[in-house]
Structure 1
Amino acid sequence: MKKLYIFLLACLSLTSCEIDEDINVNPNKPSDASGGQLLANSMLSLPGLSSSTQAQFMAQYLSELQYVGTSLYPEGATNFYGWYTGPLMNLETVINSEELDGKEGPIANQKAVAKILKAYYFWNITDRWGDVPFSQALKGNANFTPAYDTQESIYNNLFILLNEANEQIVTGSISNDIVYGGDMERWRKLSNTIRLLMALRISEVNPSKGKEEFNKALAAGIMTSNADNFVFKHLALEVNENYWYSQISLQNRLTWWSLSENLVNTLKATADPRLPVFANTNDADEYAGLRFGSPNGGDPLKYSTLGEQLWQQDAPVYLVTYAQALFAKAEASKRGWIEGGDAEAEANYNEAIKQSIAQWTGSTTEAADYLANAEVAYNPDTALEQIATQRYIHLFMHGYEAWAEWRRTGYPNNLVSPEGKDVPTRLMYTATEAANNTANYNEALQRQFGGTDGLYGKVWWDK
């Protein structure tokens, strides 16, 4: 398995073994690559869903020490084409192919994994930009100008897609699985956990639909331990190294970013055992964060930079985790979506924190003392804020997900507006769409944002 993984990664940098990701590929005909290879190749793009400086700025996890302008939320388009022409095209090929090789595992399971990954990618895409091409997308040269589907319809279709994946999984593992090693039970749990989290995401715009989907996902079976976490494990090889290793170690940029002041102060106030993992101490052997967007940046010696284990070459990326599922259950209990009220909410909240500490530190030794802190201990009067704040801490360095939860809940409520610029509420579409898909692009803008493509229009579920 490891040898195959390394080979697939090497193919990305060698012209002699290129995998065709041309936009003109017809997804209704299998490519030269096998289903297993296409699945593995699509998984290689997963870290990009969280690993970028922009993602961390949106959540205000990191502050710029040197080039402050990049963190001041400048207006600018962002491109989603790479997700379509890369992983999504590969996944669509697997889903539609009638010629998959059963030697790579049950065909039903290959297609189920493709559906789960397709849903996960599209969930991330629509939550960043809003309405995007979906039902008419991935058709190759049959349609170069796909219409934009509403985010509501995309969510409804992804709920269906995840349920289909859950129901079609059969006995038998798949090969070339660089995430779960072919373990289909963990793919099943992931599918239902994504569905659970998506259901909670629509809590403010359609709570009845959210409650329905949440309970269906819960009944189908979600993650039950940290062993089920959806984690991308990098290798100690240049062809698949951690993004932050390439940014910090190879480019000598450790002094470019510190943790934000608000985050460090929150962690210090409660003696959070995750702080020594998240951050290094400064030159005075203290933890100190820089106020996000400080106009003159800061002296790297005075502030806490990113914890060393997080930027190692083979450091993993946590994408969907057991602790997230527990925080979701805690919130659902408090909202009355599931039975148990505050007692069940508190139990899930406490366990979520315990499992988060275990994920980040490798131990639960300090969990009891941390939970006993007056600011951390569950309080029925402020429970939703506590759950959201602890979720935010847990999601450290998964900036886009934390940003989405901040947009939904408003917590933590101490994010700042650098130079008077509020935290954006969406990403702007790529400018290429205005030229190449003009009618559909304009229709989507008019439908959602009154015709303006800016950073401050609100996506469908952001109420």
Structure 2
Amino acid sequence: MKRKFFNYILLLSAFAGSTGCQKDFGDLNISPNGPSSPSTRYLFGNAVVNIPGIQAASGNLYVQFASEFEYNEESRYFNKIYTYDPIYAGPLMDLQTVIDLNTDPETKETKVVVENGTNPNQLGPARILKAFLMLHITDRWGDIPYSESLKGVENVKPKFDKQRDVYNDLLKELKEASAQITAGLPNDPLFDGNAAAWKAWGNSLRAIVALRMADTEDAAIAKTAFNEAVTAGLISSNAGNAIFKYLTNSNFENPWYTNYIRQGRRDYGVSETVMNFLVSRNDPRLPIFASKASNTGTYVGIPYGKNDSYTTSDFSLFAPSIYAQNAPLQITTYAQICFTMAEAALRGWIPGGDAEVAAWYDKGVRASMDQWASVSRSPVVTITETDKLTYLALPQNALPAVNALSFNEKLDRIQSQKWINFYMNNGFEAWAEWRRTGYPVLQPAADPLSADGQIPRRQCYPTTEKDLNGDNYKAVVTAQGPDELATRMWWDK
């Protein structure tokens, strides 16, 4: 095991020397300074702290939460190649080391391991967080290094597993991981040692994974897994939301604060797509999401994907709930689970028919409004019961138990509310849901720079794969399709 950890340090050093700077400031990874004797307490905590590093700007741009004021190449799909190297070399390697230390007979009873909890109670959260990160990677790139990854220098040229195999293994991992947790951990920045919250998050991720498989050849397997996750217990209120808590210090501050305030940059603002959605629905979340344009005192969205530059004072910037120094990152929320349940009812995966669809949709809208009101600041926004009832009564927002809407029209209502709930917190998840369902309906960039001019279906592999893992790179391109933005992945066929 000591040799394994030494290999881990060597691999971190290699990646640290090979990765470069990107415009997506959210991709920056907090590199661990590996201790000579690995402590699972340190490794797990560092992996959690690295969660925000996966929330890069590209996801928020693809689903048109944000628009760029001047440098608009990314929202016009110019960038193709994105790297996952820091995710593998940082948090995933930390988590794999925690797993190895807790399963290797030579290390599982040592002081640096047992001081952070029993082996099962460390393995459960580590496996859940590893699955979460692997889900993120496969949903961006498709087929990925999985079963042969994280082996250190023992295997620096891992094969690419098919996304179908990755998804099915994630179902297994999340099921087993949630089941083995019985107590919380002392060094848990995500859930503060709440074992029940970890179990609910793991089960919720399993339900999300399963529903994403709904239109694949494994739909029957997915339906069974979904119902098993529901029975095991999902996130059941906003109190159980998976939230990364930023702090009011420069080491752990919200990256939008760094961009907006510390660096004084205004690269991004609220898109016209989001603004039109909120205004047309009289949405009480509007002042939580957007600030008024300083020149006019009105809400004005920035046109999306046009070959133009815009003056920041003429358009709406993000509201402080997005860019405040300690504004939290909302990862998986009760509202998301409610909309997931609504779609499951719509598909007949759970009983209740249209009445169940309507009930979960109603719960989701209410949960989202409560969730966002709770993080509002400057101004603090209160969304009352009357506000919610008024919103849900509008024809464009309503999804009653008795209706004449088609399947796709109902799915559009559900997915549109799920989409807006992800606003500026989980753009990649919103992108995955849009690709899977086609909702909400989004128009491509007006002046695209990509070959097909359409919203990307995936991102291209980092150049390190072609340069350092060439044979496996060629094999995955042959199996999955061209390494291009337009290539659809398994669940998006």
**Structure 1 length-normalised TM:** 0.91
Residue 21 of structure 1 contacts residue 89 of structure 1 at CA under 8 Å; is this kept in 2?
no
Displacement over 3 Å in runs of 4+:
none
Q: Counterpart in 1 of 2:438?
A: 410
Residue 244 of structure 1 contacts residue 311 of structure 1 at CA under 8 Å; is this kept in 2?
yes
Offset of 1:403 from its aligned partner? 0.6
Q: Counterpart in 2 of 1:47?
A: 52
Q: Counterpart in 2 of 1:64?
A: 68
Once the two structures are superposed, residues 76-129 of structure 1 have per-residue CA deviations (whole angstroms, 9 ceiling, x without a partner) of 311111111111111111112133532322221111110000000000000000
Residue 206 of structure 2 contacts residue 229 of structure 2 at CA under 8 Å; is this kept in 1?
yes
| Identity rate, percent | 37
Offset of 1:69 from its aligned partner? 2.3
Q: Counterpart in 2 of 1:23?
A: 11
More deviation, 301-310/221-230: 301-310
Residue 76 of structure 2 contacts residue 306 of structure 2 at CA under 8 Å; is this kept in 1?
no
Aligned partners of 1:281, 1:141: CA distance in 2, in Å?
A: 53
Q: Counterpart in 2 of 1:10?
A: none
Aligned partners of 2:278, 2:245: CA distance in 1, in Å?
A: 27
Gaps of 5+ in 2: 1-7, 14-34, 375-381
The structure 1 residue matched to 2:479, chosen from 444, 447, 454, is 447
Aligned partners of 1:21, 1:324: CA distance in 2, in Å?
A: 37
Offset of 1:75 from its aligned partner? 4.0
Aligned partners of 2:270, 2:10: CA distance in 1, in Å?
A: 39
Cα gap change, 1:180 to 1:75, in 2 (>3 Å): closer
The structure 2 residue matched to 1:136, chosen from 137, 148, 151, is 148
Is residue 2:316 matched to residue 1:316? Answer: no
Residue 44 of structure 2 contacts residue 94 of structure 2 at CA under 8 Å; is this kept in 1?
yes
Once the two structures are superposed, residues 126-183 of structure 1 have per-residue CA deviations (whole angstroms, 9 ceiling, x without a partner) of 000000111011111111100000000001111111111122112x321110111111
Task: Write the letter of the residue equivalent to 1:423.
Answer: I
Offset of 1:278 from its aligned partner? 0.6
The structure 1 residue matched to 2:189, chosen from 148, 168, 178, is 178
Aligned partners of 1:323, 1:103: CA distance in 2, in Å?
A: 36
The structure 2 residue matched to 1:370, chosen from 391, 411, 423, is 391
Task: Write the letter of the residue equivalent to 1:91.
Answer: L
Gaps of 5+ in 1: 1-19
Once the two structures are superposed, residues 322-359 of structure 1 have per-residue CA deviations (whole angstroms, 9 ceiling, x without a partner) of 11110000000011010000001100000000000000
Offset of 1:70 from its aligned partner? 3.1
Is residue 2:255 matched to residue 1:227? Answer: no
Cα gap change, 1:24 to 1:392, in 2 (>3 Å): closer
Residue 21 of structure 1 contacts residue 86 of structure 1 at CA under 8 Å; is this kept in 2?
no
Taking the TM superposition and a 5 Å limit, the aligned residue runs for 1:150-189 are: 150-170=162-182, 172-189=183-200
More deviation, 182-191/368-377: 368-377
Aligned partners of 2:462, 2:442: CA distance in 1, in Å?
A: 30
Taking the TM superposition and a 5 Å limit, the aligned residue runs for 1:50-449 are: 50=55, 52-97=56-101, 98=104, 99-100=107-108, 101-170=113-182, 172-205=183-216, 206-254=218-266, 256-282=267-293, 283-362=295-374, 363-365=382-384, 366-378=387-399, 380=403, 381=405, 382-397=409-424, 398-420=426-448, 421-449=453-481
Residue 80 of structure 2 contacts residue 460 of structure 2 at CA under 8 Å; is this kept in 1?
yes
Offset of 1:422 from its aligned partner? 1.2
Residue 336 of structure 2 contacts residue 364 of structure 2 at CA under 8 Å; is this kept in 1?
yes
**Structure 2 length-normalised TM:** 0.86
Residue 78 of structure 1 contacts residue 427 of structure 1 at CA under 8 Å; is this kept in 2?
yes
Aligned partners of 1:204, 1:289: CA distance in 2, in Å?
A: 34
Residue 284 of structure 2 contacts residue 383 of structure 2 at CA under 8 Å; is this kept in 1?
no
RMSD: 1.6
Task: Write the letter of the residue equivalent to 1:179.
Answer: L
Aligned partners of 2:36, 2:211: CA distance in 1, in Å?
A: 37
Residue 144 of structure 2 contacts residue 160 of structure 2 at CA under 8 Å; is this kept in 1?
yes
Aligned partners of 1:337, 1:144: CA distance in 2, in Å?
A: 41
Residue 344 of structure 2 contacts residue 350 of structure 2 at CA under 8 Å; is this kept in 1?
yes
Offset of 1:304 from its aligned partner? 0.9
More deviation, 413-422/156-165: 413-422
Task: Write the letter of the residue equivalent to 2:435.
Answer: R
Residue 444 of structure 2 contacts residue 454 of structure 2 at CA under 8 Å; is this kept in 1?
yes
Secondary structure of 1:318 counterpart: strand
Aligned partners of 2:36, 2:492: CA distance in 1, in Å?
A: 39
Aligned partners of 2:119, 2:442: CA distance in 1, in Å?
A: 49
Aligned partners of 1:192, 1:399: CA distance in 2, in Å?
A: 21
Aligned partners of 1:401, 1:107: CA distance in 2, in Å?
A: 31
Q: Counterpart in 2 of 1:460?
A: 490
Cα gap change, 1:180 to 1:214, in 2 (>3 Å): same
Aligned partners of 1:223, 1:88: CA distance in 2, in Å?
A: 24
Cα gap change, 1:309 to 1:364, in 2 (>3 Å): closer
Residue 210 of structure 2 contacts residue 223 of structure 2 at CA under 8 Å; is this kept in 1?
yes
Task: Write the letter of the residue equivalent to 2:487.
Answer: G
Cα gap change, 1:294 to 1:434, in 2 (>3 Å): same
Residue 262 of structure 1 contacts residue 415 of structure 1 at CA under 8 Å; is this kept in 2?
no
Residue 427 of structure 1 contacts residue 454 of structure 1 at CA under 8 Å; is this kept in 2?
yes
Task: Write the letter of the residue equivalent to 1:35.
Answer: T
Offset of 1:209 from its aligned partner? 2.1
Aligned partners of 2:395, 2:39: CA distance in 1, in Å?
A: 55
Once the two structures are superposed, residues 406-432 of structure 1 have per-residue CA deviations (whole angstroms, 9 ceiling, x without a partner) of 000101113333314211000000111
Residue 146 of structure 2 contacts residue 166 of structure 2 at CA under 8 Å; is this kept in 1?
yes
Residue 106 of structure 1 contacts residue 173 of structure 1 at CA under 8 Å; is this kept in 2?
no
Across the two proteins, how many residue pairs are aligned to each other? Answer: 435
